[in-house]
Amino acid sequence: MSLAPQTVHTSEHPLPKCDQVICSLYEGDFHLGLAALINSITRGGYRGLFWVGCRGILPPWTAKLHRRPDGLFEVGDALLGFENIDPARHFGQFKPEFLLRTIEQGIATQHIWYFDPDITVTCNWNFYEMWVRHGISICQEITMGTMPSNHPIRCAWMELARNAGWGEPKRIQERYFNSGCVGLDIQHRAFLQQWMAAVRLANDSGVKRDQFQKGNRSQIFFTVDQDTMNIATMYTDLPFSTIGPEGMGFIFGGFTMLHSVGSPKPWRKKFLTSALKGIPPNKFDKHFLTCLDGPTFPYSSGEIARKRIAINVANFIGRFYSKV
């Protein structure tokens, strides 16, 4: 694995330290989702550090941000730093390693969170500060969200773990969780170590290091980052604080965040074309467009205006014609 600091953090600039650190990983046009994520969180009162791992060049919108002498960018009352990362494994498999590395480098000194760059936060940040004090913070998935302790796939995981010398699970788990958002106190870093061990368990079982998904859900490992995280929840004797699938907007009643897991992503969607096909804008699309007006500006003001006109027209069409 080749991992080197971005130019904004050369040896001239010591690594930052902050008691609250939010991590994310992105490549390609996911920088547009990252920008919306940052905007949504800073609007909620976040004053900590965003520490982002990326492949390739920095997002073009960073050119508009104020850059401090220490190499960090100012985003509202928060700070933003990047690390240029090119791991051999898929970013999904790399999540726990990146979080643990951020702790071990001394960047995160109290609490650390991970958010996928296709998430936007919908509540004040003080809720997340309260949430993480109660344990490792995760949300239940909607697809197979109820996964009984004797589910055949879970039983297969336990069989692999026994064969690897792990012994019996430390927690009876009846639910399956989404790996798009994880928060924890750095004292609970053992969860990240267990998650990394589960990733290696998957690799030893035939999952390639660069795979995000393998085959279909009938496979022991399918969505690798989530399956391995769920294994870690079974073999970690640490406190958890969990929210149901409403936590990511998968069902009605949520207030914490919206996770746009579908395709196309909001920044790729052609709203008018989709509406004419009977697919109107959804709540994920709509909230994404409300998160474009800074402190990051991933689009020009003209582009934002055109997108908002398009989504409003598409929403109007959807009142009369919809296949969903």
CATH of the domain at 172: 3.90.550.10
Has residue 51 been placed in a domain?
Answer: yes
Residue 231 is predicted with a pLDDT of: 98
Q: Provide the pLDDT for residue 133.
A: 98
pLDDT digits (tens, 9 = 90+) for 37-68: 999 999 999 999 999 999 989 999 999 999 99
Tell which of 220, 248, 276 closes a domain. 248
- Asked if 75 and 182 sit in the same domain, the reply is yes
3-state SS, one letter per residue, for the chain: CEEEECHHHCCCCCCCCEEEEEEEEECCCHHHHHHHHHHHHHHCCCCCEEEEEECCCCCHHHHHCCECCCCCEEECCEEEEEEEEECCCCHHHHHHHHHHHHHHCCCEEEEEEEECCCEEECCCHHHHHHHHCCCEEEEECCCCCECCCCCHHHHHHHHHHHHCCCCCCCCCCCECEEEEEEEEEHHHCHHHHHHHHHHHHHHHCCCCCCCCECCCCCCCCCEHHHHHHHHHHHCCCCCEEEECHHHHCCCCCCCCEEECCCCCCCCCCCHHHHHHCCCCCCHHHHHHHHCCCCCCCCCCHHHHHHHHHHHHHHHHHHHHCCCC
> 300 and 202 in one domain?
no
Q: What is the pLDDT of residue 195?
A: 98
31 and 167 part of one domain: yes
pTM: 0.94
Domain end, chosen from 248, 278, 304, is at 248
- Is 235 in the same domain as 300? no
**Do 239 and 198 reside in the same domain of the chain?**
yes
Show the low-confidence residues of the chain (pLDDT under 70): 1-12
12 with 122, same domain?
yes
Same domain, 31 and 138: yes
Are 146 and 273 members of one domain? no
Whether residue 255 lies inside any domain: the answer is no
pLDDT at 5: 36
What is the span of the domain harbouring residue 20? 2-248
Tell me the pLDDT tens digit for each residue of 74-112: 999 999 999 999 888 889 999 999 999 999 999 999 999
